[in-house]
A and B are shown apart, each in its own frame.
Chain A
Amino acid sequence: MNTPIVQMSSVSKHFGSAPVLDGLDWQVLPGQVIGLLGRNGAGKSTLLECLLGLRETDAGTVRIYGEDVRNLSDATRARIGYVPQQCDLFEWMTPRQMLDYFKALYPRWNAARVDALLARWGFDPSMQDKAIGKLSGGEQQRLSIIRALGPDPDLLILDEPVSALDPAGRRDFLRELIDSVIDNGTTVVFSTHILSDLERVALEIAFLKNGRIALQGQLDELLEGARRLDASAGASGRARAAPISLEELFIEVTQ
């Protein structure tokens, strides 16, 4: 049961002479919901792309469900859902055509769920007949999420999935993520800069720094263990451990 779904060993990736991933080791276990954090340019998207085999690594191995990522079987690929950072979704097609396109490429497709999400997330019939290129950035991102959820994935990789969504859209997305993805035991890895969202969803967080996972653990435990010593507190001169926020922890770890 505890066999890792994703296993990255000694993964390195350079762009020119600049190392982005530097001997990275990482595991994702079944059912884990991991929020991937890192500063701009830390390599989060590169890490997720290497994880999925969309980018070649310079060194190391990546395995998903025990298979080499360079040669994934059809059955394994059918279990993966992916929301890329940029929603490139056949902009000349309508949402309905694009979803039918991917439905034809997956052996399992939850049409009822897709229809329900389309209805819940504001894709009325007229919007479904509009070219994707004419939709707003937020609408395209919602569509990208719906597309990724269509095949009922067991492993969901989300690369900044809410960056273009307004607060209402983010709330809808998080509700969906909690109610019908995480509660079903789906393994989720997602990167985001919106820490408040992460606190509501992720049980575990991983910090990417200098091309490696610098820190990973249960969110509560990390926050608990990272209490700041407040030496100035109290006239008695005894240091007091003050709680810190995720934002402070993020700055502390990634600085």
Chain B
Amino acid sequence: MSAALKDLALVWRAALAVRHPYAHAWVCFLALLAALCVGGLTLLRVAGAVDALLYGLRAGWAVLVFAWLLYFISGAAKLNTPANAVLVPRMRRSVLRLMVLAWLSATVLSALLALGSAVRPQLVFLAVGFWLVTLGLARSSSPVRIVAQVVLPFLALILIYLPLDWRAVLASPAGFAVATVLLLGLGAWTLERMFPQGGDLHFQQQAKAKLAVERIGAEGWSRQPLIPRIGRRLYQAALRRDCERRDSGALLMHLFGPDGFWTQRCLALLVMVAGAALLMPVLRLRASPGTIQAVANGSWFFASTLLFIPFADYQRRLARLSVSRGEQGLVKLAPGMPGAAAAFNRHLAARLLRAGLAEWGAFSAAVLAVVAITGAAAETLWMQACVCCLPLPLLASTLRDHARRGGGGGAGGWPLFFALLGSSAACWLAGALATRYLGAQIMPVAALASVVLAAALVAWRWRRLAGAPHAFPVGRLA
């Protein structure tokens, strides 16, 4: 193997290992699972072995690209440190080369896999390319990442909603060439944003740290952006109130820090609903009826993605526990907290459950409000309400043996994602069976099944908490 290839292999492994030691295994497992599931389903429905193989390969490849790049981008960003810029000058160059190689192979292979399908390979090349570049931008430290994060979910649907005449233009040689040049330009610009020169990054980080220090001082409050400032004030007011009331349950929740506190989330949701409420009248005045209808029809998709946030918050909260073990020891020794393990565990579990339910309720209400504001039909609203119930079984994930499990889990959000996938599949299956044998609607039955499953899981885990060792400090028996 040449020195350049060895460099690339080393950087690839290092970037993945930064993220998770078993990233390779996870990604391969996921790809295999996707290929088998999609291939198997295709075989069942179409009964063509070649088609099944092709669909399976496409699904496996899509997961492989998505998951690998997701892991690689964040891991590679962590390698691009000021220290590495000085000590390992080839590091950034190798990371950039590898990123370009990954993008190119992902787009070209995706286009090749589209051969023989209804979608033209040129369109797949452009869609995958723009999606990957936007994903990279969304994970960068550039301020433009916020725009990329908003655009990203819609880009996934571009091949479905792109008008036919646009598709024809993009698939023509001239259109494809122009779009490819644009893609390359955007890719190069994004790479600079994703992996800035080590020195620049260092000075940017220093400037941010300086600003953060200044913001903490009393005189620096005015320099903080309005929303975080209000959120922080609300958090401080809540902390003051909880201390005055000597409410041990509420005080326990302060272990998770201000970022995960309910005040921050409520504020963000209020801003989002208010934004939608302000935007829609303007859109109704200026946009064509087709656009308004498209927004009304597509709002459910954007709104549904918001439902993942509370569950990502659960994961973040559990991860937060793993870095506050010192505080947990002090809280455990405080007489204001229940002393016996079972009593304390249930005290903590009740609070986490309450917070989880409240967050789910707030997010569901916000999602329904946004969908309603965009002018969706009553039937869509009803379906959306049913979709909101599907993640409910994940509430049980907060009730666990913290002493043995530790916080977060190195596998990121994957276990939670699989749990959601599994519970949703089970509930859909219940809905499908009810439709077939009872003639009921699939979604309401699936929603009801989610509620029942959530209640059963919570009750089961609640009972198990009585026999678990004291939750704090977490992970001491892991």
Contact = CB atoms under 8 A, between A and B. Distances in A.
B326 A87 contact: yes
Interface stretch (B13-21, B334-342, B363-371): B334-342
B248 interface: yes
A219 to B, nearest CB: 29
Contacts of A89: 326-327
B330 interface: yes
A104 B246 contact: yes
Contact of B327 (A70, A88, A97, A126): A88
Contact of B239 (A53, A70, A86, A101): A101
Contact of A71 (B217, B236, B339): B339
Given A82-B329, A101-B243, 5 more contacts: A56-B469, A88-B324, A104-B242, A131-B216, A134-B216
A84 B327 CA distance: 10
A56 B476 contact: yes
A191 to B, nearest CB: 16
B218 A129 contact: yes
Interface stretch (A73-81, A198-206, A229-237): A73-81
Nearest to B219: A126
A194 interface: no
- State the majority secondary structure of interface residues on B: helix
Contacts of B340: 71
Contacts of A53: 332, 470
A72 interface: yes
Interface residues of A, number: 39
A105 B331 contact: yes
Interface string B295-333: 000000000000000000000000000001111011111
B327 A134 contact: no
23 contacts: A49-B329, A54-B473, A54-B476, A56-B469, A70-B470, A75-B335, A82-B333, A84-B329, A84-B330, A88-B327, A88-B330, A92-B257, A92-B258, A97-B236, A104-B243, A104-B251, A105-B246, A106-B336, A107-B336, A126-B217, A126-B218, A130-B216, A134-B216
B458 to A, nearest CB: 27
B217 A130 contact: yes
A149 B240 CA distance: 22
Nearest to A81: B333
A49 B213 CA distance: 34
B477 interface: yes
Interface of A: 49, 52-56, 70-75, 77-78, 80, 82, 84, 86-90, 92-93, 97, 100-107, 126, 129-131, 134, 147
B254 interface: yes
Contacts of A80: 333
A84 to B, nearest CB: 6
A33 B327 CA distance: 26
B82 to A, nearest CB: 21
A107 B335 contact: yes
Contacts of A134: 213, 216
A55 B325 CA distance: 12
Shortest beta-carbon contacts, A-B, top 9:
A88-B326, A105-B336, A105-B334, A74-B335, A78-B335, A77-B335, A104-B243, A104-B246, A100-B243
